[in-house]
Amino acid sequence: MNPWLRSDGRIYPGAAIGVLGSGQLGRMFAIAARRMGYRVHTYSPESDTPTGQVSDVEINAPYEDLDKVRAFARNVSAVTFEFENVPADTAAACAECARVRPAGDVLHTTQHRLREKTFLKNSGLPHTPFEAVRSLAELEAALVKLGTPAILKTAGFGYDGKGQIRIQSPDEAAAAWTKLATHEAVLEAFVDFAIEVSVVAARGMDGDFRHYGVVENAHRNHILDVTLAPARVTPAIAKEAVDIARTVFEKLNVIGVLCVEFFLTKSGKLMINELAPRPHNSGHFSFDACLTSQFEQQLRAVCGFPLGATDLLRPAAMANLLGDLWEHGEPNWQAALAAPEVKLHLYGKLSARKGRKMGHLTALHEDPETARRLVIEARNALTNPHV
């Protein structure tokens, strides 16, 4: 009998919570969990990881080794995810031994672009037009339906722009299909959007739904660059985005944290781009700027406790720090932190490389535009010469 799992269905402080995955999302989750008195075990194929550095136990084994996965799950009271590319069989093996939140079927749907797009279509939710593609002939037919330009994406295991190719004209189809090197893909219509926005939210075991409002995201090379909270959208658009996000949670029966990413078209139409069943890069600002961070919220939902308030204490802007900043040596942390409104988060990754997320900066200010300016200036200062 698990002494930490009570008759009321809640998992109490002192229990161990398992995390599948070991990157920066798991690290920030572990920090929130340990602050509330929980122990954290992490499972991934790597060692000395961002999550492992702040966890009580770090298990290094393949996700496909289901015997080790079950042994991991038997030593925790609940299991959650820090990225969605964990095999569905791994989640199912964990569920034999511990509570899994969000449930494995949520992971199964959202980790596969075609299943995700089909779910959105069948649920009547606004989404980017798409066609399933399993051969060059199907790709050529899909291009006739959707037109060009269009985006060809692998059906599974893609993130930060990986596993996708932009097709400018139909005569590029054969080269794109060969380059993608997959047996199953999704062709998406190109959306000429005005901005990208997202809603990070949580749903508890009692159905309570809490959200962090609508935030505005700017990307560079398909990687999130800067997030502004709140987004510069009308109250009507903000309400619609939150309402759509709530519908996603209810139709998927999500217990935990999930992010809904949207395109906002120039005509003011919201279209869901992707779902992420975990805390999200665009919600990192909540660690400093909200009454309850997305990571604490994930823990509360997983353990069955009431969700926390998500009030934005001050407007905020978050800027990712990629490995490119280390190209000429150690960044100038002193210069970046000269602005007292700026907070630094580093993920403990052992080596920097181009495009790798090494950390982020968050700036808080009463004026959102000023917060955005401050965080960009602070990041730019990282490459100033040391004095």
Query: How far, in Å, CA of 257 to CA of 201, rounded?
Result: 6
pLDDT tier, 4 (very low <50, low <70, confident <90, very high otherwise) = low
Give yes or no for residue 161 having a pLDDT over 60: no
pLDDT in tens, 85-132: 889 899 999 999 999 999 989 999 999 999 999 999 999 999 999 999
291 and 198 both lie in a single domain: yes
pLDDT tier, 8 (very low <50, low <70, confident <90, very high otherwise) = confident
Burial status of residue 37 (CB atoms within 10 A of its CB: 0-12, 13-18, 19 or more): exposed
Average pLDDT over residues 128-141: 95
pLDDT at 262: 98
Query: How far, in Å, CA of 169 to CA of 155, rounded?
Result: 21
21: in domain:
yes
Amino acid identity at 155:
A
67: in domain:
yes
Tell which of 151, 170, 189 closes a domain. Answer: 189
8: in domain:
no
207 and 285 both lie in a single domain: yes
Tokens of 109: 């749907």
Average pLDDT over residues 155-180: 84
Query: How far, in Å, CA of 44 to CA of 184, rounded?
Result: 26
201 and 159 both lie in a single domain: no
180 and 243 both lie in a single domain: no
| C-beta neighbour count of 332 within 10 angstroms | 17
170 and 206 both lie in a single domain: no
- Which helix (H) or strand (E) segment holds residue 30: the answer is helix 24-35
7: in domain:
no
133: in domain:
yes
Q: Are 164 and 152 in contact (CB under 8 A)?
A: yes
CATH number at residue 22: 3.40.50.20
- Return the SS3 of 156: strand
322: in domain:
yes
β-strands 270-276, 256-265: how paired?
Answer: antiparallel
Sign of CA dihedral 292, 293, 297, 300: negative
364: in domain:
yes
274 and 310 both lie in a single domain: yes
219 and 338 both lie in a single domain: yes
pLDDT at 124: 97
1: in domain:
no
pLDDT in tens, 12-45: 999 999 999 999 999 999 999 999 999 999 999 9
Domain extent at residue 370: 193-381
- Rounded to a whole number, what is the distance in angstroms from the first to the last CA of the chain? 60
Query: How far, in Å, CA of 356 to CA of 359, rounded?
Result: 9
173: Cβ contacts below 8 Å, ≥ 6 apart: 136, 139, 140, 143, 167
| C-beta neighbour count of 308 within 10 angstroms | 16
pLDDT at 33: 98
pLDDT in tens, 190-210: 998 999 999 999 999 999 999
Specify the residue for token string 């490119």: 324
Query: How far, in Å, CA of 296 to CA of 30, rounded?
Result: 9
Average pLDDT over residues 172-188: 93
- Which helix (H) or strand (E) segment holds residue 276: the answer is strand 270-276
160 and 25 both lie in a single domain: no
74 and 222 both lie in a single domain: no
If you average pLDDT over every residue of the chain, what do you get? 94
User: How large a percentage of the chain has pLDDT more than 90?
Assistant: 90
pLDDT in tens, 261-299: 999 999 999 999 999 999 999 999 999 999 999 999 999
Query: How far, in Å, CA of 200 to CA of 335, rounded?
Result: 31
pLDDT at 1: 46
pLDDT at 158: 57
The crossing angle, in degrees rounded to 10, of helices 88-95 and 66-74 is 40
288 and 346 both lie in a single domain: yes
Tell which of 84, 100, 116 closes a domain. Answer: 100
271 and 301 both lie in a single domain: yes
Q: Count the domains in the chain.
A: 3
203 and 338 both lie in a single domain: yes
Single out the residue of 92, 55, 54, 56 nearest to residue 73, CA to CA: 92
- Based on C-alpha coordinates, what's the Rg of the chain? 21
CATH number at residue 328: 3.30.470.20
Average pLDDT over residues 376-387: 89
